[in-house]
Structure 1
Amino acid sequence: MSLYLRRIAVDGFRKFREPMAIEGLTDGLNIVIEPNETGKSTVLEALRAAFFVRHSTKNQLAQSFAPYGEAVGPEIRVSFDADGAPWTVTKRFLRGASIEVTGPQGKAQGEEAEARLHALLGSVRDTSQRGDAGTYGALGLLWVAQAEALTVTAPGQIVRDTVRSTLEAEVGSIMGGPAYTRVRARIDEQFGRYWSPTGQKRGRQNEARERVEMADAAARDAAERLAGLEMTFSDLETARARLKVLHREIADDTDAQTRKDLSASLETARAAAQILATRRAEHEAVTAKMRGLQDLVDRHRKAVEERDSAELAVAQARARRADVRDGLATAQQRLVDARTALAAARTARQEAWSALTTGEEVLRASRRKSAVAAARTRHAELVDFERLQDEAKALAATLIPAKIMETIEANERLVAEARALQAAGATRIALSGDATGISIEGEPMALGERVLTGETRVRLGSAELIITPPAGAASAEGALSSALERQRSALAELGLNSLPAARAQNDAARDAASELRTIAARIAGVTPADDSIGLAAGPEALKLFIVELNDDADTDPAELPDIALLTINLEAADTALARAVGAQESAVDALRRIEQEDAPLASAEAGTASTLANATTQIETIETRPEFPTLAADVARAREQTAVAAVKLEEASRDATAHDPAAITQKIETIDARTKAAGEARIKLEMDVARLEGTIESEGGKGLADREAGAREEAEAARAALQRISEEADTLKLLRDTLDEARDETSAKFVGPVAKRAKRHIERLLPGCDLSFSEDLTLEAVVRGGLSEGCGDLSRGTQEQLAVLTRIAFADMLLDQGRPVSLILDDPLVYADDARLDLMVEILSEAAERMQVILLTCRDRTFRHVEANRLSLSANLKDRVNAPAA
């Protein structure tokens, strides 16, 4: 059966950030021709996602469905027909993942919906990260993405199995018969007890191996426990021997006597250390007093030296500053005179600038008045032109649309034709002479000619004359009446009474439209821009300017100012101001130079004066201290006391060195640590002896030797069982492989029918060729003229064409099997020359008579002549984006 796609809608899928839908897909050949980067390949990827990618997956392929930089849930909705019934699948990924399938059995969602799709399409669940087309079944082979058809590839396992089941009757093989099925099923059942589908050990083999491992572990544990019990006896004897030695060491009192002697020596050392600390404190106190007195002597001497030096420096600094005082006063007076002259120059310049500004304002006012008067004149002209423009627009608006004129003209022709028909088919009678006693239709008949269009009765005295015109006369009369009525109605809607009046009205309207262009040009001519009054170009700007214009007329000045003279006066004032600025800057520079010369002298004078004041203050402070009068004697006495304290400190140091408290304390601590360690070791050995005795008592009666022997026997039995099961597994594997080889030999018989079906398509492309297929139904080579050419050695164009043709051959076989089939090619035949391209298009058109074919291409010229249903992505996308909200 064929699968017919009817509608494809995507939203938020890769480049389709806005909703897009393709509608109107037909049963035969459909062509989507769009430029590159429009989204053709994305549409095919969306179809694959809708049918084959699990909705709840978050793998790398599903993550790529979302538009770059957006966190949305891509959604695809596909409507299609399968086996004559309508189906719809709606699938959403990532955010709010869901699936809904609607078909003949009703609606289904979630896993049930996925299962229905797989059952309908003959596909299986895809567990890969990037998408495996081999799991898509027939459509995985026939929906060809861009560049996938550039080489000849083998169909997937699902397609191969389906094709083999189709060809079993033709090859007459038993490999697919009931006998083979029963044998293979039994062998597979036994094989599955020993091996995994990938050839890994499992089942009974793993159970036997686990039994061996458990038996070995039990044997090792029993042996270790037995060896541990024997080791416990040895450890108990060793612990008892060490405990006896430790008891003898603890009973020895040598360490106790040594510790008593060290404690007495420690008291003597502590007394010597206390005396040493006292002598050291006394020495430090005397030394500190001596240093304080000596420091006071040194500071007094240094202060006297600084005072004498500062007095000399102050006298020298004051002498140098006296030389520059006169120049400083002269520079300051010069700066005051320059500032006064600068102020006067600025005042003169401001007055000259004000006079020039006032003159320019007066001149601008005069020019503005002239421009305003000109604008008023142009405004009056504009009013007249706009009146003429309104009249012309009103007249131009009376133009009768061309379609209505064509209708009136047609009506006029119908009237003329109806009159002609009436004149041709009517009966004419003429009466002359005496009309007394003659009546027509009950009324006296007048002399002259009369046209009769219907049955007419003429009374001639007592006789009656019945005149019947031809049958067409009455219909001609009706047609004329209808045409006249239609023409009168059309003219009445326009307020006209005849066709010439309508033509005259249209001529006047056309002349008015032409006049409008002339008036528009004249209006543009009278509404130029005028920068002097801030007027923009255009009639609206001119009218707005006149409306906002103040009607108060500016008064004309008695005399216009001389702007040139005022400008010269301003330039002269600028020159005088510049000279005054220069003179001030010169005076400032001169004053700055003198101040710079005076600044270091003043700084030096201030520094030396400060130094002198500090030195004098320090001398006065030292000399007013109470110890200053006897300072020399106190320093000599402090030196003597320091010498005596140093001698006492030396004696105390010698006494303290003879007895070291730290060394004595270390020896005492060593004896104490050894005693403590002996006690702890005794307690630990007592515990070890008790523990070992308990272990021997508990483990000795459990029969560990018997257990170790039994565990060793179980391990040997388990290894024997493992060897037997391994031999059985290897035998089953050999038998299964032998069956596979036999099946492969039989599978070669399927190649003939496949080649036969494919050849009828490929021979049109390569006349007189034979085909060579491999066991996996891959087209391996083409034989021409007795020479075999591998597909990989053919040109890229030929490989692509063979790939398309073999897919069509497999599609025909799948159709025979009743599988859902449709063919989608993305950018096909990119390497085909013109002749082969025409042939391939012809073959695709023929295939479209048996199945739905969809071509996605960017080459308009290549497929322009092909009869097909043409669709556009851009139009559908634009319609969806511009569609009003529901």
Structure 2
Amino acid sequence: MKLQSIAIQEFKQFTGRLFIDDLQPGLNLFVGPNEAGKSTIAEAVRAVFLERYKASHLKDLLPWGKASGQPSVEVSFDLDGVACRLSKQFVTRQRCELKIGQSVYGEDEAEDKLAALLGFSRAARGPLKAENAGVPGLLWVQQGGTQEMRDSTGHAAQYLRDALSQLSGSRESAGEDALIAVVQRELRQLLTARTQKSTGPLAEAEAALSTLSAERDDLVRQREQFDENIARLAAQQEAFDDAERKRPWELHEQKALLAQQRADAAVQLERGVQDLVQALKVGEAQLALSLQQEQAAVELEAAVARDRQQLDAARANVSAVETEHGQASSRVVQLEQASADANRALELANAAVSAADLRSQIGLYRAELERLEAAIGAANEAHEALVEATRAAAALEVDETKLKRLASLDASLTVLRARTEAAMTRIEYRLNGSITVGDARIGGEGVLRLEEEKRIGLGELGELRVIPGVSDLPARLSELAALEAQHAQSLQALGVASLAQAEQRHEQWKALVAQQTSHAKVLDAHAPHGIDALRAASASASARLQAANERLAGLPDVSSALPLDEARRNADLARAALESARKLLNDAAEKRSTGLATAESLALQLQRKEAQLSDAAFCSNRAQWQAKIVEQRVQVEALTKQREGRERELEAARLDDPAAEAQRYRASAQLARQEQHERQVRIAHLRSQLETVGASGLGERLAALEAKIEQATRRKDELSLRAGALSLLDEVLVAERDAAVAQLRAPLTERLGHYLKRIFPQSTIALGDDLSPATLDRYGRADTLDALSFGTREQLGILTRLAYADLLKASGRPTLLMLDDAAVHTDAARRDAIKRALIDAASRHQILVFTCHPELWDDLGVRQRAIDDIKAAA
């Protein structure tokens, strides 16, 4: 199938009519930016072929902002050499017509015919679903859907199988599939498809057997528990009787009483030790205070000696710093003068550089001013020549439409005159006398042309009645007169006497237009922005020249200036030396200030400490605490010895921890009583259980359950045997069917390999049951489609669709490929490979490619058709 033309009317963003013709049988490339209408054109093609013309959901096809529109699409195409035309109108006044050769189909019959021809199915109602799209859904790729292959291939699988069957000479057995379906249906009643787990009757039989077995196991456990409970009851009763005789809890309680008495005595001893510890702490604190006071006095005496030494050193340091500060101040004064001289020399050197720059600028401004003056002169000449050529061309301008009409009329008039003259009756005469023709008398020699009936008088001989043989001669004469009037009117409208004169004027006008264009180019070369812009630039250059001269005149005499680099270097050295000297001066001033402050602080501190040492009250207090130190040391030593003796006694009393022993014995007595009580409770509980189970008929129930288990086991074994047989039969039938399918896939696998090697050499692709790509095997590793990158899936989507198209064409099916922005996520190298694949496929199929990246597709060797140009032409 080859599209010849597409006509779209009031469809979505196309509010008017869009007509696309001259579609090539191979590759057709449509380009345009986003929102230009590429996808709308593709959608229009899908709608006219696939959508039901009476569908009520197609209101979104209405033109934007025009609720009363009538969306319609008409396509002309060639089908096996037969010219076809399909037109549909949607939403309002719905209609559908399909013409194939001389046959015309309408309404539903046309849509059924389309579905049969193209390989898809009609939706019963509502919008076209993916499962109905068939072959067009596979080959007509919508924007953003290139990488999606599984669903579209699955929906077209039956059409692909039919084509493969025709090519391979093999047919899938419908009866075999039906048998497999029956076997699998019976098997699915017993085992699940994916996990092969039991289901249906088999699962019920296994569940029943499992329930009975669990119930039997429970009864067995109950019987075993009954026997164990008899033994446990005897043991518990024996232990209870033995404890009642020995009564161990009473012995534990007596031991607890004795241990508690020893614990109370230890508590009293501990309180005495704590009192001694407290008294010792008070004595030690008083002694520490007295020692601290004496230590402070000793440290004060040592501090006075140190401060005297530090004060002498600080006063010597102040004298040295004073000398250093004077020297630094003198050095700063000298360097400030040197820095000022160097800065003045640098300013003079900068002025010399500015003067040189200004002289260079003045030269450039003068050259630019001369160039602009020359350009203004040349532009004025070109402008005058352009005006003169324009004036002359306007005087000779000839309307080409009127000229063409005059030429057409002149040619028609020449032909009509010749035909009219040929239709007239022609009489040549040579007379010795005269005759009458109508009311006129003629003689001599000549030719008569009679356009109507005439009477010729012959004198005495009588007369002749001449009737022209052409019956429509008057009509031709009338047509000739009308045409001559139109011809004269055209000559008058052009203001010429003849067609030759009009054509001569037209040639002169074209020559003047050419001169006008040449002068315009010369003017644009000299004044691309106009003569006024040149004059403005000239005035600006003149002003800059004057300003530069004025600035040069305002500079000082620079004849004695140093080179700029030398002056800058001298200024930098002087500035660095000055900054270093100032830093040294600041450091000396800071040292002098610090030294003076330190000396003053040390003198005040020494004076304060000496006054404290010589104070009478301080001397008296010092004598008192020195006497206390001796007394307090004797008291602390006595308390320490007394505390140590009491602590040894307390350690001996706590050696066995009598309080813990008392607690342990009381707990043991409580546990012994509690354990005896629990034995009594367990004995009562076991007796109750044994009485209950003994009355329930446990043995009879277990025997009846064993019989039921045997019956359930036979049922489960029968169903398991049936499931195994069905599984084996299914495996045999599927293996036979798969062998036939493998033979069926051979042509498609060959075409896939033809395209796949362009991008993935040394690779193979495996197909699923629905003939869609399943895995890509590269370098010995098989990857599923979902594991591949988005770009790789996109490239496989294009190549596999080309292979499907080859398969369908080889089996005589119509093929048309549409790719809407199909290689967006593809790199440059793989895009080139895809282009070669498209060029190869275009030799067999018509392919419509829509893209918003024309620069990436300009090397295909086909014309790029811009959507904006198509809309403008419409």
For Structure 1 versus Structure 2, the TM-score category normalised by the shorter chain is: 0.5 to 0.7
Are the counterparts in 2 of residues 455 and 469 from structure 1 also a CA contact under 8 Å? Answer: yes
Partner of 1:138: 158
Are the counterparts in 1 of residues 191 and 199 from structure 2 also a CA contact under 8 Å? Answer: yes
Indicate how the Cα distance of structure 1 residues 459 and 776 shifts in structure 2: closer, same or farther if over 3 A, else same: closer
SS at match of 1:272: helix
Partner of 1:514: 514
Structure 2: which amino acid aligns with 1:107? R
Partner of 1:677: 671
Matches within 5 A, 1:735-814: 776=740, 779=743
Partner of 1:107: 125
Q: Deviations over 1:65-114 (max 9, x none)?
A: xxxxxxxxxxxxx9999996515999xxxxxxxxx9746xx525799x96
Structure 1: which amino acid aligns with 2:639? A
Q: Deviations over 1:27-67 (max 9, x none)?
A: xxx965479x999xxx9xx99xx99xxxxxxxxxxxxxxxx
Partner of 1:641: 635
Indicate how the Cα distance of structure 1 residues 660 and 729 shifts in structure 2: closer, same or farther if over 3 A, else same: closer
SS at match of 2:740: coil
Q: Deviations over 1:576-634 (max 9, x none)?
A: 78756644543443454466578678767766775676576567667665733434223
Partner of 1:705: 699
Partner of 1:415: 413
Partner of 1:589: 580
Partner of 2:81: none
Indicate how the Cα distance of structure 1 residues 378 and 295 shifts in structure 2: closer, same or farther if over 3 A, else same: same
Partner of 2:260: 263
Matches within 5 A, 1:837-852: 848=812, 851-852=813-814
Segments of 5+ residues of structure 2 without an aligned counterpart are 7-18, 33-37, 51-85, 89-95, 99-104, 139-147, 758-798, 819-834, 853-863
Shift of the alpha carbon at 1:667?
0.6
Shift of the alpha carbon at 1:666?
0.7
Structure 2: which amino acid aligns with 1:161? S
Partner of 1:60: none
Indicate how the Cα distance of structure 1 residues 131 and 501 shifts in structure 2: closer, same or farther if over 3 A, else same: closer
SS at match of 2:111: strand
Shift of the alpha carbon at 1:659?
2.0
Indicate how the Cα distance of structure 1 residues 609 and 725 shifts in structure 2: closer, same or farther if over 3 A, else same: same
SS at match of 1:160: coil
Indicate how the Cα distance of structure 1 residues 262 and 162 shifts in structure 2: closer, same or farther if over 3 A, else same: closer
Partner of 2:687: 693
SS at match of 2:621: coil
**Coordinate RMSD, CA, aligned:** 6.7
Q: Percent identity?
A: 12
| Distance in 2 of aligned mates of 1:551 and 1:343 | 40
Are the counterparts in 2 of residues 303 and 616 from structure 1 also a CA contact under 8 Å? Answer: no
Are the counterparts in 2 of residues 212 and 718 from structure 1 also a CA contact under 8 Å? Answer: yes
Shift of the alpha carbon at 1:382?
4.5
Partner of 1:161: 173
| Distance in 2 of aligned mates of 1:605 and 1:685 | 98
| Distance in 2 of aligned mates of 1:467 and 1:871 | 71
Shift of the alpha carbon at 1:670?
0.3
In the alignment, which of 108, 111, 127 is matched to residue 86 of structure 1?
111
| Distance in 2 of aligned mates of 1:373 and 1:5 | 67
SS at match of 2:125: strand
| Distance in 1 of aligned mates of 2:871 and 2:482 | 45
Shift of the alpha carbon at 1:671?
1.2
Are the counterparts in 1 of residues 378 and 526 from structure 2 also a CA contact under 8 Å? Answer: yes
Q: Deviations over 1:673-722 (max 9, x none)?
A: 11222233233223222322322333332222222232233334444555
Structure 2: which amino acid aligns with 1:412? D
| Distance in 2 of aligned mates of 1:256 and 1:424 | 162
Are the counterparts in 1 of residues 314 and 598 from structure 2 also a CA contact under 8 Å? Answer: no
Q: Deviations over 1:641-667 (max 9, x none)?
A: 222221222222223223229812111
Are the counterparts in 2 of residues 88 and 101 from structure 1 also a CA contact under 8 Å? Answer: no
| Distance in 1 of aligned mates of 2:456 and 2:750 | 107
Partner of 2:501: 501
Are the counterparts in 2 of residues 392 and 513 from structure 1 also a CA contact under 8 Å? Answer: yes
Are the counterparts in 1 of residues 351 and 558 from structure 2 also a CA contact under 8 Å? Answer: no
Deviating more after overlay: 556-565 vs 391-400: 556-565
Indicate how the Cα distance of structure 1 residues 221 and 457 shifts in structure 2: closer, same or farther if over 3 A, else same: same
**Residue 531 of structure 2 corresponds to residue 539 of structure 1:** yes
Indicate how the Cα distance of structure 1 residues 422 and 401 shifts in structure 2: closer, same or farther if over 3 A, else same: same
| Distance in 2 of aligned mates of 1:793 and 1:387 | 74
Shift of the alpha carbon at 1:270?
1.3
SS at match of 2:252: helix
Structure 2: which amino acid aligns with 1:288? A
Segments of 5+ residues of structure 1 without an aligned counterpart are 10-22, 52-77, 91-99, 122-127, 166-175, 529-536, 749-773, 783-790, 801-823, 831-839
**Residue 250 of structure 2 corresponds to residue 288 of structure 1:** no
| Distance in 1 of aligned mates of 2:741 and 2:332 | 112
Aligned length: 707
Structure 2: which amino acid aligns with 1:703? G
Q: Deviations over 1:248-281 (max 9, x none)?
A: 4547533333322222222221121112112112
Are the counterparts in 2 of residues 338 and 580 from structure 1 also a CA contact under 8 Å? Answer: no
Partner of 2:770: none
Shift of the alpha carbon at 1:160?
1.2
Indicate how the Cα distance of structure 1 residues 450 and 569 shifts in structure 2: closer, same or farther if over 3 A, else same: farther
Indicate how the Cα distance of structure 1 residues 636 and 393 shifts in structure 2: closer, same or farther if over 3 A, else same: farther
Indicate how the Cα distance of structure 1 residues 263 and 194 shifts in structure 2: closer, same or farther if over 3 A, else same: closer
| Distance in 2 of aligned mates of 1:558 and 1:256 | 127
Structure 1: which amino acid aligns with 2:659? T
| Distance in 1 of aligned mates of 2:739 and 2:365 | 101
Partner of 1:310: 307
In the alignment, which of 849, 868, 871 is matched to residue 873 of structure 1?
849
Q: Deviations over 1:835-869 (max 9, x none)?
A: xxxxx99x968x53xx5356899568868887xx8
Are the counterparts in 2 of residues 827 and 858 from structure 1 also a CA contact under 8 Å? Answer: no
